A and B are shown apart, each in its own frame.
Chain A
């Protein structure tokens, strides 16, 4: 009616329209009143192809406000003016159905609408039907014509979730599709399968895939050790770690359905202890270069847990100044450093993300590529490394990991969860009786392109508290590195400049590079100048003692390996 009023107002001029308003409204009412006496009834039966009624289906006539909801038997009644209409029937999770109908005044007509709801396969966690889940699926699908292979389909919700069509094991040419399913739950560890025998999909319809999730969360041991004898406010620091930093990490894991529970290795809540023994302080001051020595010190280190050290200064391969750092580049991802008097509240969560395999692309940093959700412009992904905005800072409540990131935490070959972490060389996942049936390894280039067994890290559900998605940074990521020489001989005391090249699928990659010696007592490795914007990275390798060493050339988290033999002084 308002459009009618606007048209009239436009015709007579705005001022005179105001004076005519009561007349116009009276005229409309008169029309409605007349029409109310000339209506007919349409009884709609909404059913599946099998003939079962669909309760709760919405029925309405296009272009009108006439609408109704089907009862438990699938019947809905519409009372409308006589005339020809387009009837639409909608039911959540099903394609809409439509039909042309004619309503006769002072009469009742009936019609039946079949909604193609059986043209779907579905997923469900039968054991936990009311709990929300996130499903990440690879399978064939014919929802838009001939079947094709689909990758990283996201389905979210509680109870039975209809897929968009028929999930099939093959594409239109009968080529087998990659089949995989990752299921995230708020209160249990994820389920993952990627072997064809695990899946029920056929060319038929109406199949429901219902895997059995683990009984609880994956328990991940963690110990936090404060080590700085000059620090006088250890109690305040401990309170802050427990109630802000550790609390934020737990929230982020829970909000992301990571299915991880942080515990002490001996059971119970994570412990925060102090170790000011001078030898310990000296050892930790050396950072990741001392990873081997730290591992040999059971008073501060355990192979079976994440070892977090709050120290005075954090050393990294860039020369220090980091708020936190993980020794992943030294093959010790369960050794984490945090600068105790210069860090962000989110740094513990961020470093644990790295320890759990979020190391590529861009070293696992979410601020460099698009797709991560923001909350009113604030970057809320835990793996954002930092901002460069004079008006904005890294929020202390960064609170989520994407679905793709959680997938990598549990399934990635770089995640500490999948590393040998006991004398028996078993993984934590195996010891917790939660083995995954596969790990995800080969990723595309750039890595935002998902491949069969590599979910893109920015693959994610809609996050309700967030309104926007982060745009691209314009920087192209590196995704492979090749060393020019696979082996080099050097003498004690001499230095050799070696070269590696990093590559990207896109032009103009600008990688963050570094050289790391895996045997720092034998060979010292330092980044050397290279042409900026080029793909060349140089490293200076210096022989320290006679022996063999492995050196890695890193670019954005990827690396090439070379071996070095150090001979006696030339």
Chain B
């Protein structure tokens, strides 16, 4: 039902518009403190240091950065550094083929996006919900992230515009 509401704009046009908007209004104004808190949550392995709750406590301050990550995945610097480290690992592990490297990268990207979704879900403000709606509009219907956002938005809340 939510998909029908947004179907009057072609998804590719919508995605391109959103991406341009994100680039133009990027995270340059976010404080280092917000970024440090957000990326501590993105990059924890065991996450025993209350990382998610600290992001949620930031509230709407963290929403722009989380929205970027949910829609675009990790920042380019993280993505490229991660792939470079996988390639270094491949130099010593012959079985680590480019196909597996790409699969590992996708798991890495999914980790960031899921955690961004989780934090936005925890913030639960109207700005956070708008970000979820925005991300939903750019996600392919039926994709794991689309379904996860749908699940997060839930049937009880107000519909996405």
Specify the chain B residue showing the minimal Cβ separation from A362.
B49
Q: Say if the beta carbon of A394 comes within 8 Å of chain B.
A: yes
Chain B residues whose C-beta falls within 8 Å of the C-beta of A394 in the assembled complex: 43, 45, 82
**Known contacts A247-B95, A342-B111, A316 near B48 by CB under 8 Å:** yes
Q: Say if the beta carbon of B86 comes within 8 Å of chain A.
A: yes
Q: Say if the beta carbon of A345 comes within 8 Å of chain B.
A: yes
Residue among B78, B107, B118 facing the most chain A CB atoms (10 A cut-off): B107
Asked whether, in the complex, the Cβ of B144 is within 8 Å of the Cβ of A318, the reply is: no
A248 to B85, CA, bound (A): 11
A338 to B155, CA, bound (A): 30
**Known contacts A239-B103, A240-B100, A325-B46, A396 near B89 by CB under 8 Å:** yes
Specify the chain B residue showing the minimal Cβ separation from A322.
B47
Contact of A363 among B35, B48, B97 (CB under 8 A): B48
Contact of A322 among B46, B92, B100 (CB under 8 A): B46
Mark contacts of B17-55 with chain A using CB atoms, 8 A cut-off: 1 yes-contact digit, 0 otherwise: 000000000000000100111011111111111111100
Asked whether, in the complex, the Cβ of B77 is within 8 Å of the Cβ of A323, the reply is: no
Interface residues of B (CB under 8 A from A): 32, 35-37, 39-53, 74-75, 77-78, 81-82, 85-86, 88-89, 92-93, 95-97, 99-101, 103-104, 107-108, 110-111, 114-115, 118, 144
Asked whether, in the complex, the Cβ of B45 is within 8 Å of the Cβ of A397, the reply is: no
Asked whether, in the complex, the Cβ of A354 is within 8 Å of the Cβ of B46, the reply is: yes
A243 to B101, CA, bound (A): 10
Asked whether, in the complex, the Cβ of A318 is within 8 Å of the Cβ of B43, the reply is: no
Q: Say if the beta carbon of A389 comes within 8 Å of chain B.
A: yes
Mark contacts of A310-349 with chain B using CB atoms, 8 A cut-off: 1 yes-contact digit, 0 otherwise: 0000001111111111100000000000011111111100
| Distance between B91 CB and nearest chain A CB, rounded to angstroms | 9
Contact of B43 among A247, A378, A393 (CB under 8 A): A393
> At the interface with chain B, which of A114-122, A183-191, A380-388?
A380-388
Specify the chain B residue showing the minimal Cβ separation from A239.
B100
Contact of A240 among B50, B78, B104 (CB under 8 A): B104
**Known contacts A251-B92, A343-B111, A512 near B39 by CB under 8 Å:** no
A317 to B11, CA, bound (A): 40
Chain A residues whose C-beta falls within 8 Å of the C-beta of B88 in the assembled complex: 395, 397
Specify the chain A residue showing the minimal Cβ separation from B88.
A397
Mark contacts of A444-482 with chain B using CB atoms, 8 A cut-off: 1 yes-contact digit, 0 otherwise: 000000000000000000000000000000000000000
Q: Say if the beta carbon of A242 comes within 8 Å of chain B.
A: yes
A350 to B43, CA, bound (A): 13
Asked whether, in the complex, the Cβ of A321 is within 8 Å of the Cβ of B115, the reply is: yes
What are 27 of the A-B contact pairs (CB < 8 Å)?
Answer: A240-B104, A243-B93, A243-B95, A244-B104, A321-B118, A322-B47, A323-B111, A326-B46, A343-B108, A363-B49, A365-B46, A365-B49, A385-B49, A386-B47, A386-B51, A391-B75, A391-B77, A392-B78, A392-B81, A393-B78, A394-B82, A395-B82, A396-B104, A396-B108, A397-B88, A512-B50, A514-B48
Asked whether, in the complex, the Cβ of B39 is within 8 Å of the Cβ of A387, the reply is: yes
Asked whether, in the complex, the Cβ of B47 is within 8 Å of the Cβ of A244, the reply is: no
The 9 closest A-B pairs by CB, nearest first: A243-B95, A386-B43, A386-B44, A342-B111, A395-B85, A397-B89, A393-B78, A388-B40, A247-B93
Asked whether, in the complex, the Cβ of B48 is within 8 Å of the Cβ of A344, the reply is: no
Chain A residues whose C-beta falls within 8 Å of the C-beta of B74 in the assembled complex: 393
Asked whether, in the complex, the Cβ of B49 is within 8 Å of the Cβ of A397, the reply is: no
A344 to B108, CA, bound (A): 6
Q: Say if the beta carbon of A531 comes within 8 Å of chain B.
A: no
Asked whether, in the complex, the Cβ of A390 is within 8 Å of the Cβ of B39, the reply is: yes
Asked whether, in the complex, the Cβ of A344 is within 8 Å of the Cβ of B46, the reply is: no
Chain A residues whose C-beta falls within 8 Å of the C-beta of B89 in the assembled complex: 244, 247-248, 251, 345, 396-397
| Distance between A338 CB and nearest chain B CB, rounded to angstroms | 10
